[in-house]
Structure 1
Amino acid sequence: MDLAQLRTLVHVAELGSLSKAAGRLRIAQPALSRQIRLLEDELGARLFDRHGRGMVITEAGREALRHAKRVLAETEELRASVSGPGAELTGHVAVGLPPTLADMISVPLVAAFSATHPRVRLQLVAAYTGYLLDSLYRGEIDLAVLYDPRAPRSLRIRPLMQEALFLIGPGDAGLTAEEPVPFRALAGQRLLLPSTRHGLRNMVQHFADEAGIALDIGLEIDSYTALKDLVRQGYGRTILTRAPMHEDIAAGRLTAAPLVDPAPIRRLVLSFQPDRPVSRAAEFAGAAIAAIMAEQLSQGVWVGEMLAG
């Protein structure tokens, strides 16, 4: 097998189509099809199921894809190391972000790569912590921002920021930063929260148990956008950090008050793949994310503090 075959495998798997991969790679479709067939013959396994709507990767293909990405990343890293530390980065880097954070830093992160390393193919994956953890272990993403401070020890973890949780309600709820809400006052309030599969819900439940109260969960919803819209329309209140809601709060569409007694703090960390060296592109992405968040913190978007790496 050669690097061209591995690149073809990666692109066809990502796009689910030979024709789309041919367009991206600027190679004739029959040539790509032949590369896939040769790779399947060499590995002795079917990597894709072909059907009228495109190419669907098989389980054997997923395993081959994981190794292919690693080989290509190490090849790019070798090229970069030989070229010197100041060389322009190339290749591919996949970054996982929680949905709330993706809305805030995707544009400045893309701008940072475009200005400094425009030849890097940046992939952004917005998902909750559980999915991002699985993707890290499968080698599908290179780094992720995770909310869970108890991330598995096998990951490479770098502290990023800690932030306070707020009670957030509609514009007429009268919640203000000057009037903190005791956690026990949440008893009896209709709350809209993510399901128990997500770290935020488990954290809120932990503090409710400590405060000796029962939460009234009026609705479980795992869509951040829908959650914000429902709170704005007055269907209940939620518990979240203030940063992803700051524009709505500034416009008066939402109001927010800090929670106290206890005051929940959520920590964000940068997490890298456990079983391979961190590439220069992933290092740049992590540093850019930290810089973006530090700048937003200085502007009052975040309520919290940066943590030493």
Structure 2
Amino acid sequence: METAYLQSFLLVVECGSMSEAARRLDLTPAAVAQQIRTLERELKAPLLARAGRTVQPTEAGHQLVQRARGVLREVSDIKALLGSEAAGGELQIGTINTALHSVLPDILAHFVKAHPGVKVFLQSGATATLHKAVQQGELDAAVCLYPNFALSKTFGWSLLREEPLVLLAPSRLARRDPHELLRTSPLIRYDRNLGGGKQADRYLRTAGIVPQERFELSSLLAIAMMVNRGLGVSIVPDIASPLLDGLLVAKIALPLGSEARRFGILWLRSSPRLRLIQGLVASANAVTSPVPARS
């Protein structure tokens, strides 16, 4: 069975259109239709059915969709292990939203320049979800926070950045005492389900501050924009994002010490794509403050 035909089938299902899939593959619709008919003959089952102007998978087609992605992934793993992807290959990378809005675009720009033939697929999520996906082989690597437990020796980890907590406040309040601002201004909370939000909550408790809560959300950039609009203040990790440039927001150091949020790249040391992962880590260290990798 031609794996290229399986890829065409999956693309047709994704597009809902044979002509659109053909356009993306730079083939004629007749060529794509021929590939699908070949698959149907080999599998002895109809895979697609017309529904108005679109095509949808049949019951057999749905079953093939579930299996085909895994088959293609296994084939790609075999190629990577045998070294036949020296000029190309693919990486499935998970990322927390903060990295997407800060260092990851620069890391990827460096990486694709060094590895122009590599396809990169990105998936965003929380650290716990990404850690599990890397562990189960669903992701090759993740740009995420260091988990709140010790990593086993099966994982590699490269620290990219440490971010202490700071108080975000409107620029006009930059010279005010941070604890006074936290007691007297509305608080825009960083989501307490996330690592940085939990750290901020611990800081408030340690400082004995009962804030006037106004909002609670998970986007650091949205928090910064709300602070910029004068809607309140917030305790957040000190992220480095170009998207904050131009906002009238001050980062004020906090009087009490606090643990820094640590994020970096996580991967399995036994990954068949280790060569590409190491390239990603090298690119990350080239565009951030280099920190030695632990693997």
Paired position in structure 1 for 2:8:
8
Q: Is 1:64–2:67 an aligned residue pair?
A: yes
CA shift, 1:236, in A, is 1.3
CA shift, 1:195, in A, is 3.0
**Rounded Cα–Cα distance in structure 2 between residues aligned with 1:283 and 1:46:** 43
SS at match of 2:101: helix
**Unpaired runs of at least 5, structure 2:** none
Could you give the per-residue CA deviations for residues 23-78 of structure 1, whole angstroms, max 9, x where no partner exists?
A: 23223334445545665787799988975566689974664255134224314414
**Rounded Cα–Cα distance in structure 2 between residues aligned with 1:48 and 1:130:** 37
Equivalent positions of 1:167-206 (< 5 A) are 167-174=167-174, 181=178, 186-206=182-202
Paired position in structure 2 for 1:207:
203
SS at match of 1:262: coil
**Rounded Cα–Cα distance in structure 1 between residues aligned with 2:272 and 2:44:** 29
Paired position in structure 2 for 1:156:
155
**Rounded Cα–Cα distance in structure 2 between residues aligned with 1:46 and 1:189:** 64
Distance 1:248 1:224, change over 3 A: closer
Match of 2:80 among 59, 77, 81: 77
Paired residues of 1:156 and 1:271 also in contact (CA < 8 A)? yes
Q: Is 1:293–2:288 an aligned residue pair?
A: yes
Equivalent positions of 1:104-115 (< 5 A) are 104-115=102-113
Which is further off, 65-74 or 224-233? 65-74
Distance 1:215 1:6, change over 3 A: farther
SS at match of 1:70: helix
Match of 1:261 among 236, 249, 256: 256
**Rounded Cα–Cα distance in structure 1 between residues aligned with 2:22 and 2:11:** 9
Paired position in structure 2 for 1:270:
265
**Rounded Cα–Cα distance in structure 2 between residues aligned with 1:64 and 1:200:** 38
Paired position in structure 1 for 2:166:
166
**Rounded Cα–Cα distance in structure 2 between residues aligned with 1:46 and 1:157:** 44
After superposition, the CA RMSD in angstroms is 4.0
Larger Rg: 2
Normalising by structure 1, we get a TM-score of 0.72
Equivalent positions of 1:117-132 (< 5 A) are 117-130=115-128, 132=130
Paired residues of 2:102 and 2:241 also in contact (CA < 8 A)? no
Q: Is 1:244–2:243 an aligned residue pair?
A: no
**Rounded Cα–Cα distance in structure 2 between residues aligned with 1:247 and 1:275:** 36
CA shift, 1:4, in A, is 1.4
**Rounded Cα–Cα distance in structure 1 between residues aligned with 2:156 and 2:149:** 8
Which is further off, 7-16 or 69-78? 7-16
Q: Give the percent of matched residue pairs that are identical in Structure 1 and Structure 2.
A: 25
Paired residues of 1:170 and 1:255 also in contact (CA < 8 A)? yes
CA shift, 1:218, in A, is 1.2
Paired residues of 1:113 and 1:120 also in contact (CA < 8 A)? no
Structure 1 residue identity aligned to 2:259: P
Normalising by structure 2, we get a TM-score of 0.75
Match of 1:234 among 219, 230, 235: 230
SS at match of 2:231: coil
Paired residues of 1:194 and 1:200 also in contact (CA < 8 A)? yes
Distance 1:36 1:213, change over 3 A: farther
Distance 1:143 1:55, change over 3 A: farther
**Rounded Cα–Cα distance in structure 2 between residues aligned with 1:294 and 1:197:** 28
CA shift, 1:145, in A, is 0.9
Match of 2:145 among 130, 144, 147: 147
**Unpaired runs of at least 5, structure 1:** 296-305
**Rounded Cα–Cα distance in structure 2 between residues aligned with 1:162 and 1:257:** 17
Distance 1:109 1:211, change over 3 A: same
Paired position in structure 2 for 1:300:
none
Distance 1:209 1:225, change over 3 A: closer
CA shift, 1:268, in A, is 0.9
SS at match of 1:144: strand
Paired residues of 1:168 and 1:175 also in contact (CA < 8 A)? no
